[in-house]
Structure 1
Amino acid sequence: MPIFLARDESPVIDEKPDRHFMRYIFLVPTATAAVFIFGAVELGGLSLFTVYGTRSGFTESQAALLLTVMGIGNFIFQFSLGMLSDQIKDKRTLLTAMTVIGLVGALCLPMLVESWFLMAVVLCCSGGAASLASTRSASAISARACKGSDLLAANAAFVFSYAVGTVAGPQVIGASMDVAGNNGFAWAIAGFFGLYVALSVVRIVLNPKRS
């Protein structure tokens, strides 16, 4: 319905982008990496969590309800942390903090299999943090692209990074579960988050000033 109501609002763009869309992946690496991580964790986690949950001792309905709790976290975190993000100039700090929350949450999963409630709390926070990292990344890429055809190219970079993540996530998480057992689910997700934290810290150290 919203798309139908805005059917006449599409801008006319005749010029070509100044940069190929692939260049935006490297122009804002912390943002595109966050989108990649979110795609990997979101699809990999959603597709394999029921397997992880049932192998951990939860019933199918309990595991499915945990996925619902994760989705609730994705929703409620957008408002509160989104308003906080608007007050922070360097979005990399917030992105790193959100990823650290996801990393800690993933590492805690093997220790929480005896408590459905505690796992629900951790998944709610971790899911919300990862989701916010994705939306903040979109705004960071858009800010660097400015407008017009460059914005279209930047959006293509955003979608491309997310799509690659959705392909890599289930493969890596599934392989990790095959190799390391059921806890491989948590280790693989923690690995994705850890890679982003390392990249973000390096970027902040090398380029500490960002308006």
Structure 2
Amino acid sequence: MSAVIDPLAAFSARDRKVGIGVAIACIALVGVGLSLSIPLLAFALESRGASGTLIGFNTAMGGIATVVTAPFIPRVASRFGVRATLFAALALGAASILGFAFVAPLWAWFPLRFAFGVALAILFVLSEFWINALAPPASRGLVMGVYATALSVGLGAGPLILAGVGMDSLAPYFACAALFLVAGAPLLFAGVAAPPIERAAPGRGILFFLAVAPVATLSGFTFGAVETGAFAFLPLYGVGVGLAPLSAALLVTAMEVGNVALQIPLGLVSDRMDRRLLLLIIGVVGLLGAIALPFAGSGWGLYVAVAAWGGVVCGLYTVALAHLGARFSGVDLATANAAFVVMYSLGLIAGPPALGVGLDLWPPYGVPVAIALLMALFVAVAAARLRSA
């Protein structure tokens, strides 16, 4: 573990509040664009005859991009600064989403998704480092709960925008690109409130933090697989059980409503108990909830079930980040957060294809079955690690 260094010492209370607020505002706006883009691209691919498996693999390209680039993000930010690196990522995100509107060949959507994934990797690694670095230790879970809640509001708003502007024009692509550009506005007010990143010590790269914080990083993998797969395939599952396409897209919004309701309470609980045990409890509830989804029908009960289940599963993200922030600081925290995002992205790579194969094998019920299998893997590993601790 790194030496004990107070990451708040160089900042006034006002600077810390401004810095946390700026980072949360930026990433919440990015969340709107992200949740708009994933179902938009899934429906666009399906309308062009792509199979569920192809849709899943295209979605997974974002995860491949993160795995390739995330280990280098702390080094780049230490050289160019956190704010400058975030500005570059926002510009890349806007440009790549516009590419989907104008590039016709499906094979070209794979490098476009890769570029979009690079932008997202930078945004999430640095924003989460920024928030965690400035969070007061005694209320770190609460701060991360507020962050996850704001992000969930953004993620839930994307499908609402999609439902409003429709999917049969260029409007949703331009709206998504505009959101990435607008997300740069809060950064203009950051001033000195952006924490610097020093150079990493030798031997303390991604693999080191995967080894010393396995439950937290495995939470990132599981959440990445389930969340991204659900964004892409819950709308298709909804259509399969009888919902209209735009109504089915609102299942993603239902999931995010649950996230908004539960992240602050889960963050508060995490400040008062062993976060590894809380992660295991979340995994068990997520497993049972996935098994129950097919019994929820296609009416309001399905939206309620998705909201409750999604809110609990999002706790994997909130609690794991708080766990990392409590253990590490400085560049170690940035690198540990990069390790978390790499594992999240490995989940993004594994999850959408798994759900896509499930959809192809048993439409539409293979989607919740695949989710349940992913949650069962997490529960088994987390329980084994907790017993051995």
TM-score over 0.5 for the pair? yes
Aligned residue in 1 for 2:28: none
AA at the equivalent of 2:368: A
CA distance in structure 2 between the aligned counterparts of 1:14 and 1:60, rounded to whole angstroms: 48
Aligned residue in 2 for 1:136: 319
Aligned residue in 2 for 1:34: 219
Match of 2:242 among 57, 72, 91: 57
Matching of residues 1-211 of structure 1 within 5 Å? 1-17=185-201, 19-88=204-273, 90-113=274-297, 115-145=298-328, 147-207=329-389
CA distance in structure 1 between the aligned counterparts of 2:257 and 2:360, rounded to whole angstroms: 29
Residue 192 of structure 2: SS of its match in structure 1?
Answer: coil
Q: Radius of gyration: which is bigger? A: 2
CA distance in structure 2 between the aligned counterparts of 1:16 and 1:136, rounded to whole angstroms: 25
- Higher RCO (C-alpha under 8 Å, 6+ residues apart): 1
**Does the 8 A contact of 1:174 with 1:185 survive in 2?**
yes
CA distance in structure 2 between the aligned counterparts of 1:137 and 1:167, rounded to whole angstroms: 20
Deviation of the 1:4 alpha carbon: 2.3
Output one character per residue of 1:156-183: Cα deviation in whole Å (capped at 9) or x when no partner.
Answer: 1011111111122111110122123321
CA distance in structure 2 between the aligned counterparts of 1:2 and 1:26, rounded to whole angstroms: 35
Output one character per residue of 1:25-57: Cα deviation in whole Å (capped at 9) or x when no partner.
Answer: 121111111111111111111111111111111
**Does the 8 A contact of 1:106 with 1:189 survive in 2?**
yes
Q: After the TM superposition, which segments of 4 or more aligned residues of structure 1 sit over 4 Å from their partners?
A: none
Output one character per residue of 1:108-167: Cα deviation in whole Å (capped at 9) or x when no partner.
Answer: 111222x4222222111111111121111111122222x111112111101111111112
CA distance in structure 2 between the aligned counterparts of 1:11 and 1:112, rounded to whole angstroms: 46
**Does the 8 A contact of 1:101 with 1:125 survive in 2?**
no
**Does the 8 A contact of 1:39 with 1:164 survive in 2?**
yes
Flag the 1:9–1:189 CA change in 2: closer, same or farther, 3 A: same
Identity of aligned residues (%): 36
CA distance in structure 2 between the aligned counterparts of 1:97 and 1:152, rounded to whole angstroms: 27
Deviation of the 1:8 alpha carbon: 2.3
Gap regions ≥5 residues in structure 1: none
Tell which deviates more after alignment, 39-48 or 8-17.
Answer: 8-17
Q: TM-score if structure 1 supplies the norm length?
A: 0.90
AA at the equivalent of 1:95: L
AA at the equivalent of 1:62: S
**Does the 8 A contact of 1:142 with 1:151 survive in 2?**
yes
AA at the equivalent of 2:252: L
**Does the 8 A contact of 1:103 with 1:194 survive in 2?**
yes
Residue 8 of structure 1: SS of its match in structure 2?
Answer: helix
AA at the equivalent of 1:199: V
C-alpha RMSD over aligned residues: 1.6
